[in-house]
Amino acid sequence: MIYSFCVFIDWIKRVDIYLSALFSNFSRSYIQKMIDKWQVEINWKTIIKNTKIKNKDEITLEVKLESLEIKPENMNLDIIFEDSELLVINKDSNVNVHPVPWEDWKTWTLVNGVLYHCKWNLPWIWWIERPWIVHRLDKDTSWVILVAKSDKMMLYLSEIIKDRKIDKYYIAIVYWLFKDKNFKIESYIWRHPNDKIKMTTKNPINPKLAITYWETIWYIDNKYSVLKIKIETWRTHQIRVHLSSIWFPIIWDRVYWNFKINEEVKLKYWLSRQALHAYSLEFELYWKKQKFTWELKPDIKKIIWNIII
Active site residues: 138
* Cα–Cα distance, 92 to 110 (Å, whole number): 9
Q: What type of residue is 132?
A: W
List C-alpha distances in Å: 38 to 4, 61, 66, 165: 15, 9, 17, 40
Rg (CA), the chain: 20
CB 5 within 8 A of CB 58: yes
CB 130 within 8 A of CB 114: no
- Pick from 224, 225, 229: nearest CA to 210: 229
Q: Which residues of 249-272 are buried (b: 16+ CB within 10 A; e: fewer)?
A: bbbbbebbbeeeebeebeeebebe
Instruction: Compute how many other C-beta atoms are within 10 angstroms of the C-beta atom of residue 273.
Output: 22
* Cα–Cα distance, 256 to 15 (Å, whole number): 26
